Structure 1
Amino acid sequence: MNDLEVMSAAHDAVMTVVVISAPLLIVGTVVGVAVSLFQALTQIQEQTLIQAPKIFATFLTFLIALPFMAETSHNQFLRMVAQISAPTN
């Protein structure tokens, strides 16, 4: 593999990680902001109030997005194996 192929493979791997982790990060962020807004409006300053909904929402999102995450990861693995096993010129 030359430098361009290595950089392309690294870019593809990083983008796959971003795509796989995006649903969990987005849901965690949205739930965190919503709970923080609720806490600010009601002046309830309980630390466990912000953690429980985020953990529950992230776990639920993980269960829903798991087939997509597994398929994306599997496709990335197959692309890398094909790239590694491809004959070089």
Structure 2
Amino acid sequence: MKLNDKQINRLIRLIFDELKGQNMVSFKEDENKVKARATDIVKQNMRDEEAIDAKVNSMMDDLERQHGGEFQRYKMFPMLKKKIAQEEGFIL
């Protein structure tokens, strides 16, 4: 899923507000530092997923060249993505 910076910040804020509201979390560091770190983690996760998508698209291009018209990208993409993510230890 593609999120812009504003959406990521809102998501982090909502998660933190919910956790604080239920007294499930307390911060040893400044809350803004923790939010910034959480934002960095989400952005890195999105970059990692984009790299997996690029790898899967490259594999599908190769498969499509080999198998021609009988290849169905929309069916293969989720299967290949799941397999590559699992091999790389990435949780979708």
Pick the TM interval, shorter chain.
Answer: 0.3 to 0.5
- Please tell me whether Structure 1 or Structure 2 has the larger radius of gyration of its CA atoms: 1
RCO higher in structure (CA 8 A, sep ≥6)? 1
Greater share of helix = 1
